[in-house]
Structure 1
Amino acid sequence: MRLHAVVLLLMCIFRELYARKFHSSERIHLKNKAREMFYHGYNNYMEHAFPWDELKPLTCEGRRWDRRERGDLDQTLGGFSLTLIDSLDMLAILGDHEEFRHAVKLVIQHVTFDRNVTVSVFESAIRVIGGLLSAHVLASSSYVGLMPPSEYKSELLDMAIDLATRLLPAFDTPTGIPVDRINLLHGLNKHGSSLTCPAAGSVLVEFSYLSRLSKNPIFEQKARKAVLAVWERRSHLDLLGSSIDVLSGTWESSHVGIGAGTDSFYEYLLKYHILTGEASWLEIFNSSYTAVEAHTKFNDLHVEVDMHHGNRKIRYPRISALQAFWPGLQVLAGDVVNAVKSHDRLFELWVKFGAMPELFDLRGAGVVVDWARASPLRPELIESTYHLYQATRDHKYLKIGRKLLHDIESVSRVPCGYAAVKDIYTLEVEDRMDSYFLSETIKYLYLLFSDNPSVIVPSIYVGSIHTTLNVSVFGTSNCIDGEGYWTRPVKSSQVIFSTEGHILLTAPELYRRNPSHRMSNSYQCQSSTGFDDHLVDSLSSKKSSFSGYMPLGLSVRHKNIHVGTILASPAKFGKQIYNTKVTVESLFDLEPVGNGCDTISPSSLLGERIFGKLVMVYRGNCTFARKALNLEQAGASGVIIINTARVPYKKYRNQFYLIWDDRSKAGRNVSIPVLMVLAEDVTRLVGLIRDQELNSILTTRNGIKNEIPTLEDEEDGIVASLSSWLW
Structure 2
Amino acid sequence: MIYIRWSINSTPEALLDEGQVFDDDAFERPVETLVQTQFHPPIHTPTHTPTHTPTQIPVVYDTIKWEERQNAVREAFKHAWGGYVRDAWGCDEYHPISHRGSNLTGIGIGFTIVDSLDTLLIMDLKEEFQHARDWVARSLDFEQNGNVNVFETTIRVLGGLLSAYHLAGNDTLFLSKAIDLGDRLLGAFSSSSGIPYASVNLALKQGIPAHFVGGASSTSEATTLQLEFKYLSHLTSNEEYWKKAEEVMFKIDSLEKLDGLVPIYLDPHTGNFVGKTITLGARGDSYYEYLLKQYLQTSRTENIYLRMYDQSMDGVKSRLVNYSSPSKLLYIGELLNDEFNPKMDHLVCFMGGNFALGVTLGKTVREVKHLNFKQLEDLRIGKELTKTCTEMYFRTATGLAPEIAYFTSLSGPEKDIYIKKFDSHNLLRPETVESLFIMWRLTGDVQYREWGWKIFEAFENHTKYEGGGYTSLEDVTSIPPGRKDKMETFWLAETLKYFYLLFGPNDQIPLDKYVFNTEAHPLPIFMPTRKVRGQGWNRQ
2:471 matched residue in structure 1: 419
Residue matched to 2:5: none
TM-score, normalised to structure 2, is: 0.76
- SS at structure 2 position matched to 1:305: strand
Deviation at 1:100, TM superposition (A): 2.5
Question: After the TM superposition, which parts of structure 1 deviate over 3 Å for at least 4 consecutive aligned residues?
Answer: 21-26, 188-193, 363-366
Deviation at 1:424, TM superposition (A): 2.1
CA distance in 2, matches of 1:159, 1:178: 21
> Structure 1-normalised TM-score?
0.57
- Give the match for residue 280 of structure 1: 304
Which letter maps to 1:405?
Answer: F
Instruction: Answer yes or no: is the 8 Å Cα contact 2:196–2:207 preserved in 1.
Output: no
1:424-450: CA deviations, max 9, x gaps? Answer: 222212111111101110001011111
* 1:579 aligned partner: none
Give the counterpart of 1:332 among 350, 357, 360.
357
Q: What do residues 31-85 of structure 1 show as CA deviations (whole Å, max 9, x unaligned)?
A: 1100100111112111211110121111121123359xxxxxxxxxx71121110
Identify the residue that residue 293 of structure 1 maps to in structure 2. 317
* Correspondence list, 1:543-622, <5 A: none
CA distance in 2, matches of 1:506, 1:178: 25
Q: CA deviation at 1:250?
A: 3.6
Q: Given the alignment of the two structures, is residue 355 of structure 1 paired with residue 374 of structure 2, yes or no?
A: no
Q: Counterpart of 1:504 in structure 2: which amino acid? A: L
2:180 is matched with 162
> Are residues 1:436 and 2:464 paired?
no
Alignment partners' CA distance in 2, 1:190 and 1:506: 33
Instruction: Name the counterpart of 1:84.
Output: 113
- The answer to whether residue 258 in structure 2 is matched with residue 258 in structure 1 is no
Which runs of no fewer than 5 residues in structure 2 stay unpaired? 1-59, 324-329, 360-377
Contact 1:86 1:131 in 2 (8 A): yes
1:369 deviation in Å?
3.0
8 Å CA contact 2:199–2:209 kept in 1: the answer is no
**Conservation of the 8 A alpha-carbon contact between 1:131 and 1:502:** yes
Deviation string for 1:639-659 (max 9, x for gaps)?
Answer: xxxxxxxxxxx99x9xxxxxx
Equivalent in the alignment of 2:270: 248
Deviation at 1:298, TM superposition (A): 2.3
The 3-state SS of whatever aligns with 1:361 is strand
Give the counterpart of 2:430 among 374, 379, 384: 379
**Which digits, 9 at most, give the CA deviation of each residue in 1:434-469, with x for residues without a partner?**
11101110001011111x21223xxxxxxxxxxxxx
1:206 corresponds to which of 228, 238, 259: 228
What is the match of residue 369 of structure 1? 420
- Alpha-carbon displacement from aligned partner over 1:132-164 (angstroms, at most 9, x marks no partner): 0001112235xxxxxxxxxx5x12112111112
Cα separation, 2, equivalents of 1:381 and 1:22: 24
- 2:92–2:104 Cα contact (<8 Å) kept: yes
CA distance in 2, matches of 1:103, 1:264: 28
Q: How many angstroms does 1:507 deviate by?
A: 4.0
| Contact 1:454 1:493 survives alignment (8 Å) | no
1: CA distance, partners of 2:222 / 2:177: 22
Mapped partners of 2:518, 2:136: distance in 1: 22
Q: CA deviation at 1:198?
A: 1.0
Query: Any stretches of 5+ residues in structure 1 without a counterpart?
Result: 1-20, 68-77, 142-151, 457-490, 513-517, 522-649, 654-727
Shift of 1:332: 0.8
CA drift of 1:191 comes to 8.9
CA–CA separation in structure 2 for the residues paired with 1:292 and 1:492: 24
> Are residues 1:62 and 2:101 paired?
yes
For residue 413 of structure 1, give the secondary structure of its aligned residue in structure 2.
coil
Q: 1:195 maps to which residue? A: 216
**Which residue identity is paired with 2:314?**
T
User: How many angstroms apart in 2 are the aligned matches of 1:454 and 1:139?
Assistant: 17
CA distance in 1, matches of 2:162, 2:287: 20
Q: 1:182 to 1:393 in 2, by over 3 A?
A: same
Q: Which amino acid aligns with 2:490?
A: Y
Once residues 254 and 419 of structure 1 are traced to their aligned partners in structure 2, the CA distance between those partners, rounded to angstroms, is 35
Q: Given that residues 439 and 448 in structure 2 are in contact (C-alpha distance below 8 angstroms), is that contact kept between their aligned partners in structure 1? A: yes
The answer on whether the counterparts of 1:455 and 1:492 sit within 8 Å (CA) in structure 2 is no
Within the candidate set 199, 204, 209, 1:181 is matched to 199
Larger gyration radius, structure 1 or structure 2: 1
Q: How does 1:457-536 map to 2 (within 5 A)?
A: 491-508=510-527, 511=528
> Match for 2:75: what amino acid?
E
Contact 1:233 1:240 in 2 (8 A): no
Contact 2:93 2:488 in 1 (8 A): yes
> In the alignment, is the contact (CA less than 8 A) between 2:210 and 2:216 conserved in 1?
no
The Cα offsets for residues 214-238 of structure 1, whole Å up to 9 and x where unpaired, read as 1101111111111232332242422
Secondary structure in structure 2 of the residue aligned to 1:235: coil
Q: Does the 8 A contact of 2:407 with 2:418 survive in 1?
A: yes
Aligned residues, how many? 436
- Provide the C-alpha distance between the structure 1 equivalents of 2:231 and 2:103, rounded to a whole number of angstroms: 30
- Which letter maps to 1:160? A
Whole-Å separation in 2 of the counterparts to 1:215 and 1:399:
44
Q: Report which structure shows greater RCO (CA 8 Å, sep ≥6).
A: 2
Is the CA contact (8 Å cut-off) linking 1:22 and 1:398 kept in structure 2?
no
**Cα drift, residue 189 of structure 1:** 4.0
**Identity percentage over the alignment?**
29
State the shift of 1:172 in Å: 1.5
1:343 maps to what in 2? 386
More strand by share: 1
Q: CA deviation at 1:22?
A: 7.4
2-structure distance, mates of 1:85, 1:377: 19
Calculate the aligned-residue CA RMSD, in Å: 2.4
Q: Which residue of 2 aligns with 1:453?
A: 506
Q: Secondary structure at the match of 1:333?
A: helix
| Match of residue 153 from structure 2 | 124
Tell whether the 8 Å contact from 1:267 to 1:329 is kept in structure 2 after alignment.
yes
Structure 1 residues 190 and 80: alpha-carbon distance in aligned structure 2, compared to 1, 3 A threshold: closer
Cα distance in 1 for partners of 2:62, 2:79 equals 26
Give 3-state SS (helix, strand or coil) of 1:119's partner.
strand
Asked if the contact 2:210/2:217 (under 8 Å) is kept, the reply is no
Aligned residue number for residue 6 of structure 1: none
Cα deviation for residue 254 of structure 1 reads 0.7
Change (3 A) 1:248 1:113: same
Q: Distance in 2 between matches of 1:66 and 1:165?
A: 18
List per-residue Cα deviations over 1:581-619 (Å, max 9, x = no partner): xxxxxxxxxxxxxxxxxxxxxxxxxxxxxxxxxxxxxxx
Deviation at 1:249, TM superposition (A): 3.0
Deviation at 1:95, TM superposition (A): 2.0
